[in-house]
Amino acid sequence: MSNESSKAEQEQVDTVVEGEILTADKAEAETGTDEAGLMDELTQANFRIEELEQALAESQTKVEEQVDSVTRAAASEANIRRRAAQDVEKARKFALEKFANELLPVIDNMERALEGTDAEAEEAKAIYEGVELTLKNFISTVDKFGLKVINPQGEAFNPEHHQAIGMQPSPDFPENTVMMVMQKGYILNDRLLRPAMVMVSQGGGSVDTKA
């Protein structure tokens, strides 16, 4: 083989090698560019995810605040309704309190009239029966509106409903028992209008003391 032929073959080999090197360099450069682009896309995607997560957290916070506000408003409205209903009920129950207090002396006088009248006397019998019937009807009527009589004869003394005007020894009544009712008391729908005026037994003994 001549020198010229060998030289030509070498040049062809060098050209092929250079071409392959250039192709490899170009492919590597293109791969690097693709990787850089992919990293940029991932970075942007991460930023977008963070933004969305932050927006979601803010939205959830606002929703929770609104739910709490609605719950508080509902509770406040329920409390207002309950208090209003209680006020209406109290007003309904005790609207007659002043009027009922004015009626108590009338009832007392009718009872005194019966106590001072001889039911067996022929001339007073009709009057007695008339007053008795009127008093019964009167008590029955006011009872419908919640007015109740306190007549604790023989019951244990209750300072919440009874007012002791004195104490006396008595062999007939246990200690701290109402032995005599001087004036009946009255309750209007569980509210005390007037306590019963009573004499309280000391049980056995002989010394009188004032309450």
User: Where in the chain are the domains?
Assistant: 148-204
- Ranges of H-type helices in 95-121: 97-115
pLDDT value at 211 more than 50: no
pLDDT tens digit string along 126-146?
A: 888 899 999 999 899 889 888
pLDDT value at 32 more than 60: no
Q: Grade residue 15 by pLDDT with cuts at 50, 70 and 90.
A: low
Q: Which tops the pLDDT comparison, 123 or 201?
A: 201
CATH level 3 topology of 148-204: Nucleotide Exchange Factor Grpe; Chain A, domain 2 (2.30.22)
pLDDT value at 17 more than 60: no
pLDDT at 208: 47
Task: Name the average pLDDT for the chain.
Answer: 81
The arithmetic mean of pLDDT across residues 27-52, rounded, is 73
Q: Which tops the pLDDT comparison, 206 or 86?
A: 86
**What Å distances lie between residue 211 and 166, 170, 173, 202, CA to CA?**
5, 16, 17, 11
pLDDT at 30: 56
Return the bridge partners of 187, or none.
148, 192
| C-alpha span between 113 and 110 (Å, rounded) | 5
**What Å distances lie between residue 76 and 62, 85, 86, CA to CA?**
21, 14, 15
Structure tokens, 96? 């007659």
